[in-house]
Every structure is written in C-alpha cells, then in structure tokens.
Amino acid sequence: MLTPSDLSDLTDCIETANKPQTKLENLMTNTNTANTDTNTAVLATLELQGADIARQWKAITKGDKARFTQHTQADGFDMQLGKLMVALSVECEGRIKSSRLADCGINVVDKRRRSEAMWFVNNEVEAREFIAKSKKGFTSLSALQKAMAVANKKASSKDDTASTKDKPKADASPKTSEAKPATKDTIFKELLAICKASDVDIMDIAEMLLREADALENNHKVIKQGTDEWTQSVVASL
C-alpha cells in the first residue's frame, strides 16, 4: 500500500517528466513560426527582385530603341559603317579582304554588325518604310532584318496563292476537231501536192494505181467464183 510519502515522490516524478515535453512543444511551435516568417520574407524578396529586374529591362529596351534610332540616322553609326562597307565591296569587286578591313580599322567591329549595316544601306528605302509602319519599333538591325524577311515571305506566299486562283483551269477533256470527209478531188489534189513536193512522177503513181486496181479486180473475181461454186455445191446437196 502506498504511503503519503510515496505519493508525493510519484507526483514529483510525473511533473519532472512533463517539463521537457512542454519545452519541446514550445520549441517546435517557435520553429514553425520562424520558418513561416522566413518563407514569407523570401517570397517578398524574390518579388521585389523581379519587379526591379522588370524595371531595368524596360529601361534597357527603351535605351535600345533610342540607340537604334540614333544609329540609323543619316549620320548615325550604322549608316556610316554600312556606306564604308559598300564602298569597300565595290573596291574589292565583291568580298572584302580582311586586310582591307584592318587597314580601315573596322576589323574590330563585329562581323554580323558590319553585314547588317551594309544590308541596311543597300535596302535603306524599303527598311525605313517598314520601320515607319511598325507599331512597336525595333531595337536592333537584327530584329528589323528578321521581321522584314518574314513579311516578305508572307507577301510572296499570298501573291503565289492569288496567281494560282486567277490562272484559268485547263480543260481536262480533249477537244475533238470534226474532220471533214475526204472527197475524190481533195485526195487527188493532195496526191499531186505530195508528188510535186517529193519530186515523184505522177505517171508512176498512176501505173501503180492501175496495177493495184487490176489486182483488186482479180481478187474479186476469184472470190466471186469461189462463192458461186460453194453455192452450187450446197444447192446440189439439198
């Protein structure tokens, strides 16, 4: 049987055992709260970083458009570069040698930039008209060149489609021409024309026709004689 002293000791043990558990629960609660606050702070930080990046990008894009406009003016960088490239191309009769690029000091300019500037000068009128029609504008010659290539391809495709529609369909059914029946006169005239064109004596043809007529007549007689003999034999057998 437990004494009052034993009950007191047991109570102390239970209280002692419960104290660490209460501290652990408090620690876990504090940790979860801290993690939630940290996640919220990280999200807020990433959003702020994204907003700042978007602001910088808008400024960069705006600056690119301004530089593009400046560089493509009559005395702009790309116009000067393009005109020089055209002059060197004429001088070298086509491909510009690397040594000439170095002589003029433009070998340090990116190869693609030199090519695009030369293209812009050669297609200046069409390019400026295309820029004027654009709503958003352009930030580089690369973007302009690509957009014009796509537009020209679409226009060419539409023209091909329109020409195909306008083209009259070929009549699949063959047209038969009604041939006029030949007469003795037309045959004779054609025969004379052929003999004359081929330098053939018409009398030779006449003799050949007579021989053919005699042969046909003899064949006719033979056939008639055979038919008569057969008819007589049939009648006799009846």
Read off the pTM. Answer: 0.48
Residues 64, 109, 142, 77: what is their CA dihedral angle, to the nearest 10 degrees? 50
**pLDDT for position 215:** 78
Query: Which residue reads 């002293």 in tokens?
Result: 5
How many angstroms from the chain centroid is the CA of residue 189? 62
**pLDDT for position 194:** 85
pLDDT-flagged residues of the chain (< 50) = 21
> Could you give the CA distance from residue 44 to residue 51 in angstroms, rounded to a whole number?
11
**pLDDT for position 71:** 94
Cβ neighbour number for residue 141 with a 10 Å cutoff: 21
- By the 8 A CB rule, do 81 and 113 touch? yes
Helices and strands (DSSP H and E) totals, the chain: 8, 0
* Sequential DSSP letters for 68-112: HHHHTSTTSHHHHHHHHHHHHHHHTTSSPPHHHHHHTTGGGS-HH
Structure tokens, 179: 């041939």
Query: Which residue reads 């690029």 in tokens?
Result: 101
**pLDDT for position 222:** 65
Environment class of 195 (CB within 10 Å of its CB; exposed 0-12, middle 13-18, buried 19+): middle
Residue type, 174: P
**pLDDT for position 217:** 77
**pLDDT for position 111:** 94
